[in-house]
Amino acid sequence: MSKPLTLLNEEEQAFREMVADFAKKEIEPLKLVMDESQEMHPELIKKLFELDIMGIEIPEAYGGIGSTFFNSILVIEELSRVDSSVGVLVDVHNTLVITSLNRWGSETQKAKYFPQLSNGKIGAFALSESDSGSDAFALKCRAVPTEEGFLLNGSKLWITSAQQAGLFIVFATINPEAGYKGITAFLVDRDTPGFTIGKKENKLGIRASSTCEISFADVRLSHDSVLGEVGKGYKIAIESLNEGRIGISAQLVGLAAGALEHALAYTKERKQFGQPIFNFQAVQMRLAEMASRIEAARLLTYNAARLKEAGQPFVKEAAMAKYFASQVAEWVASEALELFGGYGFTKDYPAEKYFRDSKVGKIYEGTTFMQLQTIAKLL
């Protein structure tokens, strides 16, 4: 199946092909083992850093490659074409953590963390709590000001890559009475005393991507740990998630493209009534619709990414991309599974994993309902 050339220049296409080749060679042989064990292979993580795709937008002076947000989107799409678990690890690291540091980090923070984030340390974004999901700022995690800085207490749930991460952007309130204006973002190292990684969730899909609870018990933070300004954490969270949703859209487009790729190959191999099932018009019609919806989702995703890079308003377009791509990914993965017939329902074939991995797309980084609400408000 040919690679899409839509809206890409030669450099971007070469970058895409490099990542696609890596995914096929390095991730494909491991993805089912990682899914069964619910563990990301350490050597694979090391290779992601060696490929220089864990510091795409980090300036070269700090060890990154100084590339573009759009190239981050291409990387996430191609990795997710093979395994969304790897795609989301790279996605959160680049489009949430690194993007946040690029925009709001001080020069001291960048000098400290960028060399680490481009050379082995994974970043995580810790916003959600047990009573704070779509109502993102109903936070109970508390950071009490002290003479030396802050004393952090509380817990977070559903933190992607928590098991592997070394740096966490943690959102806590310093003044509950101030509502969202009391929210502050902190940079918290994994080895900070009082910080613990808790239960890892046993998930339906993207099982190699760790999703854990994290807890803070009298964690002492210095004033230098504040990302941006005190009381401006809500702005960092909202704007970072707006951009991060484009990354999730790319993940879902890649997932759908991978499911279609496997389904197309299978229909050309599987014979019934003396011929490949691809020859039947009903199968062709289904594959054509799958391909068309994927391309539409891809165009929405690329458009949002280009607008973001151009400094143009993109929030509505990002919400549209995330909403539509999540719908397409689940539908395409389901259709692909059915084209495999009974084999699609077994773990001997890839279709069931794509189907399981697709479901979270309607949930994380803003549910379907939240995306539709955002779109409606901006019409």
Enzyme catalytic residues = 365
Spatial CA neighbour of 26 closest among 3, 52, 49, 44: 44
Q: Write the CB contacts of 129 (distance below 8 Å, at least 6 apart in sequence).
A: 138, 139, 140, 141, 154, 155, 156, 157
d(CA 173, CA 61) in angstroms, rounded, equals 34
Spatial CA neighbour of 36 closest among 166, 184, 208: 208
How far, rounded to the nearest angstrom, does the alpha carbon of residue 214 sit from its chain's CA centroid?
A: 19
State residue 304 phi and psi, 5-degree precision. Answer: -60, -40
State residue 220 phi and psi, 5-degree precision. Answer: -90, 125
